[in-house]
Amino acid sequence: MTQALGLPTPSVEYGLLSPMLIVLGVAVVGVLVEAFLPRQQRYAAQLVLSLGGLVAAFVAVVGLARDLHGGTGRTAVMGAVAVDAPTLFLQATILLVGVLGILLIAERRIAAPAESETGPGLDAFTPQASAVAGSVVEKLATKAGVVQTEVFPLTMFAIGGMVLFPASDDLLTMFIALEVLSLPLYLLCGLARRRRLLSQEASVKYFLLGAFSSAFFLYGVAVLYGYAGTLDLGGIADAVAAGSGKTSLALIGTGLLLVGVLFKVGAVPFHSWIPDVYQGAPTPITAFMAAATKIAAFGAMLRIFYIALPGLRDDWRPVMWAIAILTMVV
């Protein structure tokens, strides 16, 4: 059909995408497990599935690194995803942090008899996310030992977005990765077993501020597209090198992009959400977000600066120095 219409057939190159496909595929299977597997079997199935998927994705990353072996890197999906040595290093680090995060999420303690009459123990997550905090329904779910196993596929979706974020070679793919990693985290922050109201407040704050920063990122994408006429990072670099258009337009677009990325990093002045969200979120999610999200965001930031905007280094370097110093001080 595409050949008859004269449209190009995209070259997907599934091998290069295998780490991302494995993680996102496991997340989809996890959703099916929640739908069709009996509740008593979900915890063990989700834990084994998540850990197995992360290990398989890590093995795929190692295999891709061996295939590159000092090469210049390759692209997939018509240049939307780049696979090179820095990307594979960041992906491997995110996957290792993801394994630790899954283990923290799966950790349970022995519950006191007054808190739980059945079940293997309590975890850090509320047994009934849809119930009103402190309601009879929530108390009954706690006594029954109900486990919120939906956190496993949600975490896997977030990891999938994080793995894609530093590998994105165009701004549209980068925005999609940003949203894929963000949306599950908004939900996970509101699932704390203790401090239920504080956790729900943290989730709402994170969602509102995150959506606000994503809007800035998307606006920056539009501005840079207006400047360069392309969303490809290499194409933007070529436009900057050729001096086409106004440099001020490129700087405005870069600044808007940075709002979205620096928000995920938690850098000054976009750090005010961190105390409330980290305090209200379940402890395993706080630990996971504090490490994995920042790794992915730093990777995306490096790709923007060194692939798309090397010609503007004299403009963005002083700004990043100031932000880095203020972030460490504040």
Residue 7 banded pLDDT, cuts 50, 70, 90: low
Q: Which residue has the tokens 């009934």?
A: 128
Place of tokens 């290792």: 96
* Predicted local distance difference test score (pLDDT) of residue 143: 57
User: What is the reported pTM?
Assistant: 0.90
Rank 57-61, 203-207, 284-288 by mean pLDDT and report only the highest: 57-61
CA distances from 16 to 45, 80, 147, 303 (A): 28, 12, 36, 18
Domain ranges of the chain: 18-106+150-329
* CA 51 to each of CA 119, 152, 184, 199, 291: distance values in angstroms, whole numbers, following the listed order: 22, 10, 18, 26, 18
DSSP state of 14: T
Gyration radius of the chain over CA positions: 21
CA distances for 110 relative to 120, 203, 244, 275, 283, angstroms: 7, 27, 65, 29, 17
Taking residues 280-288, report their average pLDDT. 91
Q: What is the pLDDT of residues 138-178, one digit of tens each?
A: 655 555 556 678 899 999 999 999 999 999 999 999 999 99
Tell me what the mean pLDDT of segment 116-131 comes to: 57
Q: Which pLDDT score is estimated for 149? A: 85
Q: Rounded distance, CA 255 to CA 147, Å?
A: 43
Higher per-residue confidence, 203 vs 119: 203
Q: Is the pLDDT of residue 231 over 80?
A: yes
| Mean pLDDT over each residue of the chain, to the nearest integer | 86
pLDDT of residue 112: 46
119 confidence band (pLDDT: 50, 70, 90): very low
The predicted model gives 59-73 an average pLDDT of 85
H/E stretch holding 76: strand 74-76
